[in-house]
Amino acid sequence: MKLTGDGGGKVPALARSLHGRSRVAHTLLTWFRLGSRLPGASWRSIEVNGGAGVMFLDGSQQLISVVALEIERGQITAISSVVNPDKLAHLGPVGDFRALLRPDDGPG
């Protein structure tokens, strides 16, 4: 199992690919936990390059990430996450990924 991320140097992403089911699963769980804390955030199933994938939308329904799954013989063998806003812009309005990572300073 392999997990790659593409931030294009514009937003934080994996510095290098992760390998191994345990490492990938741990990282994905962390990402899902962080995403679940965002009010109104959602996932939508989509087709990515002819295969299975999802898009992650922020609370304003702006695109934050596209995740593609590579599946062989019924098993997920690789996961690719794109958060580079330049590579997402053709899909619609792109949200501010960096702002989602900042701690909430609260009111005024």
Q: Which residues pair with 76 in a beta bridge?
A: 71
The first and second tokens of residue 42, run together, are 């959602």
pLDDT at 106 over 70: no
| Res 74: pLDDT | 94
Q: What is the pLDDT of residues 49-76, one digit of tens each?
A: 999 999 999 999 999 999 999 999 999 9
| Res 32: pLDDT | 85
Domains of the chain: 2-101 (3.10.450)
Q: Considering only CA atoms, which of 90, 51, 84, 85 is closest in space to residue 68?
A: 51
| Res 98: pLDDT | 77
Q: Considering only CA atoms, which of 106, 77, 85, 95 is closest in space to residue 19?
A: 77
pLDDT at 104 over 80: no
| Res 52: pLDDT | 96
What is the rounded CA–CA span in Å between residue 84 and residue 13?
9
Are the C-beta atoms of residues 61 and 94 closer than 8 Å to each other?
no
Give the SS3 label for residue 95: coil
100/77: higher pLDDT:
77
